[in-house]
Chains A and B, each alone.
Chain A
Amino acid sequence: EAGVAQSPRYKIIEKRQSVAFWCNPISGHATLYWYQQILGQGPKLLIQFQNNGVVDDSQLPKDRFSAERLKGVDSTLKIQPAKLEDSAVYLCASSWGQGLGDTQYFGPGTRLTVL
């Protein structure tokens, strides 16, 4: 069974530029998560989707970050404009979406460097 796919794996941009990340979850998984992991820290949830609806985006900086999951399968996370502090690894995860502490499976992540 294929795991969570993410692209690109690495991205270097200058501040104030825009960037987009793509995620394809494990087939059949209804819930999709985007986490931000700053160097030396644990991942922090940015946004959670159940099918194509947003469940939790309370920690998403909405002035510059946006995310969508239009058809309830793959998802895109965008940053516009990027700031230096956005340098981090962006991890996508998915789960069956049955609630009750579903196990989340993570993709390889996208490492973003903002210069």
Chain B
Amino acid sequence: AQKVTQAQTEISVVEKEDVTLDCVYETRDTTYYLFWYKQPPSGELVFLIRRNSFDEQNEISGRYSWNFQKSTSSFNFTITASQVVDSAVYFCALSEARNTDKLIFGTGTRLQVFP
């Protein structure tokens, strides 16, 4: 069965620290997609990245980077030089090609960045 685990419930850092949010997934599909979303206090889920199962290249976008490793079923997210505006709940999600594209979300990691 498909499952997404975000073991870190809450992380607190001081501004400018680097922080990594962990995501481990389970699926029987060979074709699947992984996502990260940010949920600020306003409540809206903001799309950050989409990765398909055939592309294991790491990706960097500004201060954000993602590390996808199929061997460990992980899709971790790193924020470099964190800022107060990064404070939010971050969700990792999985969709399977054979499963109507519905997203299976983890329970989220609350990141608090203090000045």
Interface size on B, residues (CB 8 A): 25
Give how many A residues have a beta carbon under 8 Å from the other chain's beta carbons.
28
Return chain A residues, CB-CB under 8 Å to B105.
42-44
Contact, CB under 8 Å: A103 / B45: no
A55 within 8 A of B: yes
Closest to A95 in B: B101
Interface residues of A in 12-67 (CB under 8 A from B): 31, 33, 35, 40-45, 48, 55-56
Picked from A45, A100, A103, A107, the residue with its CB within 8 Å of the CB of B97 is: A100
Contacting B43 at CB < 8 Å: which of A44, A95, A111? A111
Measured in the bound complex, the distance between the Cα atoms of B47 and A70 in whole Å is: 27
Interface residues of B (CB under 8 A from A): 4, 32-33, 35, 37, 42-47, 50, 52, 91, 93, 95, 97, 100-103, 105-108
